[in-house]
Amino acid sequence: MPLDFNFTEEQELFRRTIKESYAKTISPKIKEMTKARMITPDVHKALTSEGFFGLLLPKEFGGSEADYVTFTIAVEELMKADTTGIAGIPVWYTAACARMIAVHGTSALKEEVLPKVVKDGWITPLHSTEPGCGTDFTAITTNAKKSSGEYVVNGEKQILSCIPEAMKYGGGFITSVKTKPELGPKGMSLIYIPATSAGISTTVFEGMGIDVGGIRYENTRVPEHHLIGPEGNGRQLTYESFVHARVPTAMTLVATAEKCIELGIDYMKQRRVFGRPLAGFEGIQFELAENYANVLAARWLCYRAAYLVDKYHEGKAPFKDAMMAASCAKLVASEGCMKAISDAVEWFGGMGTTTDYEVQQAFRMARQQAIAEGTRNTQKIVIALQLLGSEFTAWRK
């Protein structure tokens, strides 16, 4: 079977167009966003008007219905323009999560939320982590009980993305809950909770990269039509959301490493040490070559994973193939790209750790994203169980 590693003409044009746009609208705003600790209104408006939030959404709601490879191209160029992740992560994460509503939401929920995501840049992250569980996401205790055509939600979520952005720019939270706690993982469901709902209190933790936070729900009432998918299907839908988020998370690491290598090359050609450019030292050249190869490998693993996500959407590949590919990409990116970024910081010497150079903030964001959507060990668990079979899992549920 022939292999083709080329993008289509439309995808190449798309890449050039957004690259030029982001260089004007995002890159100059990095220090401003770093100071604000969140996406600024002008950048939010620019990304909304460019249609990024609606890339994966149906055209009937104003979206572009882009395939996942094209979406991954957008993530790569966005994150090369914004190595802080402060603008990029809330935008691509919303785009990926909003697709959950488009595919599995009720007609009423789609009409209520999706046009606002596209036109107004509503933020709609998925929240599963709680103070007592992360990787073991089925151990959640947040519950939702039906009452007079509504769900009443009680519980707490923690280490969550995009809380300040949703509160400022509108939107809500796709929240994993137990609708039938007595059934364990089979009693999990997903519910969309508007950020303006009563009974919500939030906290924010200043992160290494983007800020994360927590939400407490106390008798928070949401309409019954905010249920996403059938009751009891939350476990499978959360698995699906992980795959859709792992690919762009891995590409976030790749794009950041690509940008740090570019910055490092420029710097090492100019910086003189012992009478010659830093680039003239063999030890630096070997590090550069090794890092470039590792980042390139991670990049193509990301696009392979995006390709298999598309094939899964088309019904031409099983979900497990997309899940395996996404975890392979995330694992390799978390290791190889993190080393490339760390080495780039060191190339700059002591100045590389200061805010005068963006490599330090890039490192901070990347270290956070290497943990996001599953640590390295989490990816190893997913990969090993696909190779060995679920009967070798360390737990039974």
Q: pLDDT tens-digit profile of 198-216?
A: 999 999 888 788 888 899 9
pLDDT tens-digit map of 320-361: 999 999 999 999 999 999 999 999 999 999 999 998 888 999
- How far is the CA of 353 from the CAs of 25, 211, 262, 279, in angstroms? 26, 20, 17, 20
> Are residues 177 and 190 in contact, defined by beta-carbon separation less than 8 angstroms?
yes
Does 220 score more than 80 pLDDT? yes
CA–CA gap between residue 150 and residue 221 (Å, rounded) = 6
| Residue 1 belongs to a domain | no
Does 112 score more than 70 pLDDT? yes
pLDDT tens-digit map of 380-392: 999 999 999 878 7
**Do 293 and 381 fall within a single domain?**
yes
pTM for the model stands at 0.94
Domain containing 55 — which CATH number?
A: 1.10.540.10
| Residue 397 belongs to a domain | no
Q: What percent of the chain has pLDDT over 70?
A: 98
**Do 250 and 325 fall within a single domain?**
yes
Q: Last residue of some domain: 120, 138, 170? A: 120
**Do 262 and 354 fall within a single domain?**
yes
pLDDT at 240: 93
| Residue 3 belongs to a domain | no
- Weakest-pLDDT range from 34-38, 89-93, 187-191, 250-254: 34-38
Average pLDDT for the chain: 94
**Do 266 and 222 fall within a single domain?**
no
Q: Last residue of some domain: 199, 228, 257? A: 228
Closest residue by Cα to residue 307 from 325, 295, 293, 320: 325
Q: What mean pLDDT do residues 39-50 have?
A: 94
- Spell out a b/e string for 205-214, using b for 16 or more CB atoms within 10 Å of the CB, else e: eebebbbbbb
> Are residues 258 and 362 in contact, defined by beta-carbon separation less than 8 angstroms?
no
Residues contacting residue 13 through CB under 8 Å, at least 6 positions apart:
none
Q: ∠ at Cα 195 (192, 197), nearest 5°? A: 85
CA–CA gap between residue 257 and residue 259 (Å, rounded) = 5
> Domain range for residue 76?
9-120
Q: Last residue of some domain: 101, 120, 139? A: 120
| Residue 307 belongs to a domain | yes
Residue type (1 letter), 312: Y
| Residue 211 belongs to a domain | yes
**Do 239 and 328 fall within a single domain?**
yes
Closest residue by Cα to residue 295 from 246, 257, 323, 243: 257
Q: How many domains, in total, are found in the chain?
A: 3
